[in-house]
Structure formats: structure tokens, C-alpha cells
Amino acid sequence: MTTAKDIMTPGVECIGENESLEAAAKKMRDLDVGVLPICGDDNRLTGILTDRDIVVKCLADGGDPRETSAGSLAQGKPVTIGADDEIEEALDTMKQHQVRRLPVIDGHDLVGMVSQADIALNIDDDRVGELLEKLSL
């Protein structure tokens, strides 16, 4: 049984919910990533921030990324997967919520991230096609 913790990228860094979008963009650049989990003061996951969020929800609307907090773009409860959940559950969750990345939670702690690519490398080709088709809608 392959689990989320078996295929995840560990050591994911958060952006604090009170940190600016400018700080988030710099962190994304430095880490060479396009997505960051948003964590509260208690280090619990409160949302997910993408580079596209910064552009579309801040810059395109005339917002100032130095003055806009990462937490202001966190909407709703983030979709996650448990560290011990099977890869099939991660696949189903991605398809159901049409997300390309899933934060991996162990208890209340963020322990990693499972991406569409992580799933694709660990399931049969037919299932990969099914995932891609569902996420491309």
C-alpha cells in the first residue's frame, strides 16, 4: 500500500498568514515553487497561495503586494490528505476538488505536499490520463 507520505515532497515551507504577498513571491522565487501553504500563528494550515493568486487577485486588481497579506487570499478550508492515506485517496481527492497539489497533514502538522506529478509517477498510465482529463476541465 503506497501512502501520501511515501510519495510526497517533504519539508514544505509555509508563508505566514500575516506576511505580505511580496514576501510570498520572494519565497516562491527562492524556493523555485509556484505554490506555498499559508500557515497561521499556530503553524496550522489556513490556505494555499499560488503565484497566479498573487497576479490575478492582487496585481490585476491594482492591489499592493507589499500591503496585502497572504492570509487575505486564503479562502475556505484547504483541501488536504492525511500522511497515511493511500495514493488512491489522494487521486480521488485531486479529481473531486480539481486541485493539482495536496498538502499532507499528520495530525495538525503540515509534513509535505503531493503534486499531480507525484501521483503520475506512482500510478498506472490509464489513471494518469483520467487525472489529467479531470483537472483540465
Show me where the domains of the chain are located: 4-135
Q: Which CATH superfamily is domain 4-135 in?
A: CBS-domain (3.10.580.10)
DSSP codes of every residue in 56-110: HHTGGGT--TTTSBGGGG--SPPP-EETTSBHHHHHHHHHHHT-SEEEEEETTEE
Give the model's pLDDT for residue 89.
92
Could you report the per-residue pLDDT of 41-73, keeping only the tens digit for each?
887 899 999 999 999 999 999 999 999 999 998
- With a cut of 50, which residues of the chain have pLDDT below it? none
